[in-house]
Structure 1
Amino acid sequence: MASPDTPLRRLSRGASSAAYRGLARPLLWRVDAETAHHGAVLAADTLGRAPVLRALTSLGGYAAGPAGEQAPLELLGLSFPHRVGLAAGMDKDGRGVATWGALGFGHVELGTVTPRPQPGNARPRLFRLPASGAVINRMGFNNRGVGALADRLRTAREQGLVTIPVGVSIGKNKDTAVEDAASDYLTCVRALEGLADYLAVNVSSPNTPGLRSLQDAEPLGRLLREVVAAAGAVPVLVKLAPDLTAEALDEALDVALGAGVAGVIATNTTLDRSAVVPQERGLGEESGGLSGRPLTLRSREVVRQVRARTELPVIGVGGIMTGSDAAALVEAGADLVQLYTGLVYAGPTLIADSVAATARR
C-alpha cells in the first residue's frame, strides 16, 4: 500500500515546483524548444553514466513523494512500481535509460525508433505555446536507428542499470512506402528481441506521411497480426490518435483486439487546433502534432471509450499538466499514465505529484 501523501511532502513539492517555474524554466526557455529538449536528454545521459550522480538523482526523485512506497502494479506480465511513466518522444535513442527510474518514473517508453537512422524534418520543428499550455512538434521520428537503440539498451541491461520496465515505440522510416510499412516494424521487432519489455506500435503520429492511414481496419489488422506473431512473448500495444471519430476508434479497437494486442495506448498528439487560445492562433498554424493542455479532456474521452471496449491494460497519455489530470485519466480507465509536455510547464515535480495523486486511486 502507498504511504500517505503528507503535508510535508506536498510542501516540498510545492517549493520545488516554485523553484522550477521561477528559476529553471526561465533559463531553459531562453533557448529554443528543441535545444532545451536535447539539453534535457543530454543531462539524463550524463547522470546515467555517473553512479554517484545517479544515486543523488534517485534521492531527489523519491524525496518529494511516495514513489516506490506503494505495492507494485502487475500488468502485461511486468511489475510497475507505480502508475506514472515517461511517454515516447522524449528519449528516442535511449540515452537516459539509466536515469529515468532514478528521477521517479515507474516506466519509460523509448522511441519512436525506425529501422534506419533518419534526421527527421527540417528545423524549426518544435514550438512552445505557453498561453495554451501546449507544444507543437513535427520532429518526424528523428532517431539514430533501431540498431543504435538496441546496442545502448543491451549495454544498460548488462550493467544492471535498467531499474524500471522499458517499452519501445516502433515506427516506419519516412521513405518507406505505406504498403511496405510492415517490414520496417518487423525489423524493429527483431532488433529489439530480448531487450524491450513491451513494444508500442505507433501508427498515429501525424508527422510521417501516410502513417495514420495504417489505423484503417485492413492495414491495421494485417500489421498488428504480423507484429504480434513476430514479438512472441513480448507484449505488443497499439498507440491510437485522438483525432479518430468514435466510430473509427471503435473499428480500430475491434481490429486491434482481434489481432491479439496486449493493450492500448491512448493517445498521441492531435491535429485539432480548436483549443489554441486566440493570441496564439498564428503560431498554432504551424504544422505538426499539438500536445499539452488542449488534449487534457480529449485524452480522457478516448481512454473512457477504450476502457468501455476492453479489459486489457490501457496507458493514458495526453494533457497531463497536474497530478489531478493524471488521477482523472486513471478515473477514466487508464491503468498507467505517461507524461511529456506537462514536464515542460510544471517541471520534474509533476512526476511526484502524479504518483501521489494516482496512488490514491
Structure 2
Amino acid sequence: MFYYFIRKLLFLIDAEKSHNLTFKCINSKSFQLLQDFFFTHKIPSKKITCMGLTFKNKLGIAAGIDKNGEYIDCLSKMGFGFIEVGTVTPLPQYGNIKPRIFRITSKEAIINKMGFNNLGIENLIKNIKKSRFKEIIGVNIGKNKNTNIDNAVQDYLICMEKIYIYASYITINISSPNTINLRTLQYGQNFKSLLYKIKKKQHELHKKYLKYVPIAIKISPDLSKKELLNISKQLIRYEIDAVIATNTTLDHSSIQNNLKKIYQKGGLSGLPLQKKSTNVISILSKSLKKKIPIIGVGGINSIYSAKEKIKSGASLIQIYSGLIYHGPKLIRNIIKNI
C-alpha cells in the first residue's frame, strides 16, 4: 500500500521528470541502506543457465529504464536476476522532443517516443566499470538518429567493439518504433546482412578477447506470423544466441478511447501489450524448437502473466511498466513463484 501512495504522488508529475526524480532518490546512499534491509535478504536464489550464462533467477529489468547504466547497483538490490541497460548509441543524442512519455493509468500502460536518448557508449562503459554489480549485465545497442539506415549496421558494430569486454550479453535493438526506418532492419536482405555482420564481429571479438559474449536480437510485436517464421529461420541459420520478444507496439487500438492527440504516436507498453507479446513468444517457441532461447517481455504485471510468458516458451522474462505500476513487491512475488 505504501508504494501505491508514493505512486499517486509521482503520477502528479510529468512522467519523464517523475522517472528521473525516482531514480535519483533510490540511487542515494541513504535509500540504498534501506534497500539492503528491505529487499536483498528477502529474494531467494533460483539459478538458471541460459545463453551459456548463469542467472541468479529468471526475472530481469528490461532496457529503457536505465539507458546510461547509472542505476545498476540500486536496481540489483531489488533482486533482479539480470539487468539490461540501454538502448545506447555510438554518439550521445538528445532523442525526440519532450514531452515524450505518457501514462494511461486506467490501462496500466505507457506510451513513449523517446528516440534512443542517451549519453553515448563511452559514458555507459564508465558507469559499468564503476558498478559493484557482478552478476549478468546485458547491453542494449542501437543506431544514432542521424545515421542513414543503409549504414545502420556500422553503428551496431561500433557499439559491439567498444562494449564487448564489459557486457555479459549484447542486445541488438532493431525494433524500436521511435527511430525512423529502424524496423526495416527486421526484414529480408537487411535482416540477413545485419545478422551476418553481427555474427562475424562476434567471432572476431571472441577470438580477440577469448571471451564469448552472447548476442540477442530484440524484435517487434507487430510482425505477422509469416514474418516471425522467417525471422526464426534466419536466427537459427546465423546461430544467434537469443531473441527478445518483444519491444513496444504501434498498435493503439486497445486504448483508442483513452488517446489524446499529444500521445497518438509512440511505442505502447504495459498491460495492453501483454497478450500480443505472449502470442509472439508462442509462435517463436514453436518455430525455434528450443534451438534458441526466448527472453519474454511485454505487459508482465503479476505472477500469472509472468507464468504465462514462461509457459508460452520464454526461458527468461523482463519487466518495465509493471515495475512502474506495481513497485518492487512485484519483483519479489514473481521470483518467489516462478
Fold shared per TM-score above 0.5: yes
Candidates 217, 221, 243, aligned match of 1:242: 221
Displacement of 1:277 = 5.5
What CA distance in whole angstroms lies between the structure 1 residues aligned with 2:198 and 2:129? 21
2:295 match: 315
Kindly indicate whether residue 173 of structure 2 is the aligned counterpart of residue 198 of structure 1: no
2:209 match: none
What CA distance in whole angstroms lies between the structure 1 residues aligned with 2:264 and 2:92? 25
2:52 match: 77
Where does 1:295-310 land on structure 2 (aligned, <5 Å)?
A: 295-310=273-288
Where does 1:70-219 land on structure 2 (aligned, <5 Å)?
A: 70=46, 72-156=47-131, 161-219=132-190
3-state SS of 2:21 partner: helix
Kindly indicate whether residue 269 of structure 2 is the aligned counterpart of residue 286 of structure 1: no
Kindly indicate whether residue 242 of structure 2 is the aligned counterpart of residue 263 of structure 1: yes
Distance 1:219 1:324, change over 3 A: same
* Percent of matched pairs sharing the same residue: 36
Summarize deviations over 1:69-122 as a string: whole Å, max 9, x none. 33x101112111111110000000000111211111110110000000000000
What CA distance in whole angstroms lies between the structure 1 residues aligned with 2:319 and 2:296? 9
Mind listing any 5+ residue stretches in structure 1 that lack a counterpart? Answer: 1-17
Displacement of 1:282 = 2.7
3-state SS of 1:74 partner: strand
Q: CA RMSD in A?
A: 1.6
Displacement of 1:284 = 8.2
Displacement of 1:245 = 0.5
Note if contact 1:132-1:277 (Cα within 8 Å) is conserved in structure 2.
no
2:314 match: 334
For 1:39, the aligned partner's letter is L
What CA distance in whole angstroms lies between the structure 2 residues aligned with 1:60 and 1:193? 34
Note if contact 1:263-1:313 (Cα within 8 Å) is conserved in structure 2.
yes
What CA distance in whole angstroms lies between the structure 1 residues aligned with 2:303 and 2:268? 21
Note if contact 1:88-1:111 (Cα within 8 Å) is conserved in structure 2.
yes
Displacement of 1:224 = 1.8
2:2 match: 19
Displacement of 1:193 = 2.4
Distance 1:62 1:256, change over 3 A: same
3-state SS of 1:276 partner: helix
3-state SS of 1:105 partner: coil
Note if contact 2:44-2:335 (Cα within 8 Å) is conserved in structure 1.
no
Kindly indicate whether residue 321 of structure 2 is the aligned counterpart of residue 344 of structure 1: no
What CA distance in whole angstroms lies between the structure 2 residues aligned with 1:59 and 1:327? 28
Note if contact 1:85-1:337 (Cα within 8 Å) is conserved in structure 2.
yes
For 2:114, the aligned partner's letter is M
3-state SS of 1:189 partner: helix
Displacement of 1:286 = 2.0
Displacement of 1:219 = 1.0
What CA distance in whole angstroms lies between the structure 1 residues aligned with 2:198 and 2:170? 9
Note if contact 1:58-1:104 (Cα within 8 Å) is conserved in structure 2.
no
3-state SS of 2:268 partner: strand
2:201 match: 230
For 1:138, the aligned partner's letter is K
Displacement of 1:266 = 0.1
User: What is the TM-score normalised by the length of structure 2?
Assistant: 0.93
Note if contact 1:207-1:289 (Cα within 8 Å) is conserved in structure 2.
yes
Displacement of 1:42 = 2.1
Note if contact 1:225-1:260 (Cα within 8 Å) is conserved in structure 2.
no
Of 280-289 and 183-192, the range deviating more from structure 2 = 280-289
Note if contact 2:102-2:263 (Cα within 8 Å) is conserved in structure 1.
no
3-state SS of 2:196 partner: helix
Mind listing any 5+ residue stretches in structure 2 that lack a counterpart? Answer: 207-211
